[in-house]
Amino acid sequence: MIISIDPAHSLSDSLEIKLETEAKKVAKNLYAAEIDPAKAVEEYKEKLAPQIEKIDFLKGSGLEDTFDIAGMAPGIDEIAAFDRFLRYMHSNEYDIIIFDTAPTGHALRFLSLPEVLDSWLGKMIKLRLRFSGMINTLKKVLPFGKGESDTKFGTEQLEEMKHRIEKAREIMSDPNKTHYNLVLIPEMMSILESERSLKVLNEYRIPTETIIVNMLIPENPHCKFCTERRKQQLERVEMIKKKFKDYKILQLHLFRNEVKGIKMLAGVSKILFEA
């Protein structure tokens, strides 16, 4: 199963097949889906609204009224997409799940969500305990108080969400279950960006073993421009090998035609992984 979390919907373009949020069979033993951020946000809102009703200490907080505004806030589409990401991650339908991420900045924000959400839920649980303590005290002191301990107070819902996030983080940091491929081109800016990306990936304990150097110009002695560009690229490849010496480095040359369609992609996979 290959799932795109890139809002640009490039997976549909790569496979030359119109994909939707639900899985679609595209070849033998291959399914694909593309998470639509707008649709994911709507589903997320529908899913979250009933949960807010169950969490007592959020009632009357105004969260219900402001949720439509939150749905338009930056980052809500990533959280909504992550909810779908979790759903697929915890599914037993597929042997292998491949997540096609967006370019670096978006991908790193997305991959950092388990840490961010776990921290957020931890604060929510502390807030719940604080509110619970305050209300229990009032119940004992005020004339109408019964002195009962309100133990649930939204705990079950918050703990369940926290457990799912922790499980996702555990899977994403397990080298036996997760492997992240970093793709770059042999140019200085791309190398420096990839170097920064690897630091962030290491911080979030996301296993990265393979770096793919893409768009290498093939040798062509009859083209002076091509020869000069290739010479510069090969120098950058040597730099990549030194900077990323602890990683497996694969190289992919620039093709005459665009790499799209299942047949072309199958050919690329043979060059990369069956050499």
Which pairing describes strands 98-100 and 180-184: parallel, antiparallel, or unpaired? unpaired
Q: Are 11 and 100 in contact (CB under 8 A)?
A: yes
Catalytic-labelled residue, pool 6, 36, 77, 83 = 6
Q: Is the dihedral of CA 42, 47, 49, 50 positive or negative?
A: positive
Q: Which two tokens stand for residue 126?
A: 């502390």
Q: Indicate if 6 belongs to the active site.
A: yes
Residues 6+ apart with CB under 8 A from 145: 138, 139
Q: At what angle do helices 113-141 and 104-111 cross, to 10 degrees?
A: 40
Q: Which two tokens stand for residue 211?
A: 């770096």
What Rg, from alpha-carbon coordinates, does the chain have?
A: 24
CA atoms within 13 A on the CB side of 148: 6
Please list the active-site residues: 6
